[in-house]
Amino acid sequence: MQQGVWQQKWVIGNWKMNGSSAQNTRLLEEICALPQADKVCVGVAPPALYLAPAAAQLAVADSANPICLSAQMASRFNGSGAYTGEISAPMLADVGVKLVLTGHSERSLYFAETAEQRRSQLEHILAADLQPLLCVGESLAQREAEQHFDTVAAQLAVLKDLSFVNGVAVAYEPVWAIGTGKTATPEQIGEMHQFIYDTLLSLLGGGVNIRILYGGSVNDQNAAAIFRVAHVDGALVGGASLKSEAFAAIIRAAQETD
């Protein structure tokens, strides 16, 4: 990630387990054709199977907005070895990936990923000179029990003693707002983003670049209001990133927000 990126809003599209060769090619063509947005770092995270074709397409694209190719996860195992089905951080770097999601709640929910595994992923992502984007967030039960700050603090603790050459990036995604159509209020977002910012300074010290994204049913209707909240440095976008018109509107909202 280039140094100037840390002054931009980030809009990263997490495609999850969606798409096909034809659909992805068309979607990337439409994203690359969007008007220039120099205040925004735009990224897409296709399924791993489609990363190499996406990298090849982006390499020849005449785009006003260079696209940051992102991966949805990296293996907790590094290098190579007898780990059937796994994809290591160096392999992701080899095909042109620049940013890697880690800690997404769906990985914990469906694949029982632990904090220890997340820590290993982070170490390997950094060792491969890639930028991790750590996802954190509380469940509805934790929010209602007023355990949301403790929950997020525990999730952020995996960053302790790691060395971030460029900076640290976190996506706050309240689990109860992912894919549900529910969005945290501006007050809830602002409160949590301030907490994350303060916690990162405590863990890593001053002088580190910090980007805190919001995720959780971000769409073209609510993006502008979300971007106006203090310490919201961008968005991790799910379903809306699969529709070029909606994704374009989110990028435009980020571009127009100071």
**Active site includes 104?**
yes
**Which of the residues 104, 124, 148, 193 is marked catalytic?**
104
Average pLDDT over the chain reads: 95
Measured in degrees and rounded to the nearest 5, phi and psi for residue 136 equal: -135, 160
Burial of residue 187 (CB within 10 Å: 0-12, 13-18, 19+) is exposed
Is 239 annotated to bind ligand? yes
Domain architecture of the chain: domains with CATH: 3-56+64-78+86-256 (3.20.20.70)
**Which of the residues 106, 124, 173, 193 is marked catalytic?**
173
Is 78 annotated to bind ligand? no
Average confidence (pLDDT) over 217-239: 97
pLDDT higher than 90, residue 207:
no
This prediction's pTM: 0.96
**Active site includes 231?**
no
Helix axes 21-32, 244-255, angle to 10 degrees: 30
Indicate the range of 73-77, 202-206, 231-235 predicted with least confidence: 202-206
| Percent of the chain at pLDDT exceeding 70 | 100
Rounded Cα distance between 29 and 144, Å, is 43
Task: Give the residue among 89, 178, 86, 104 at the shortest CA–CA distance from 140.
Answer: 178
What integer pLDDT is reported at residue 130 of this predicted model?
Answer: 97
What integer pLDDT is reported at residue 1 of this predicted model?
Answer: 73
Is 238 annotated to bind ligand? yes
Q: Tell me: the pLDDT tens digits for 37-57?
A: 999 999 999 999 999 999 999
pLDDT higher than 90, residue 2:
no
Contacts of 197 (CB under 8 A, 6+ apart): 210, 212, 231
Is 65 annotated to bind ligand? no
Q: Which residues pair with 67 in a beta bridge?
A: 42
Is 103 annotated to bind ligand? no
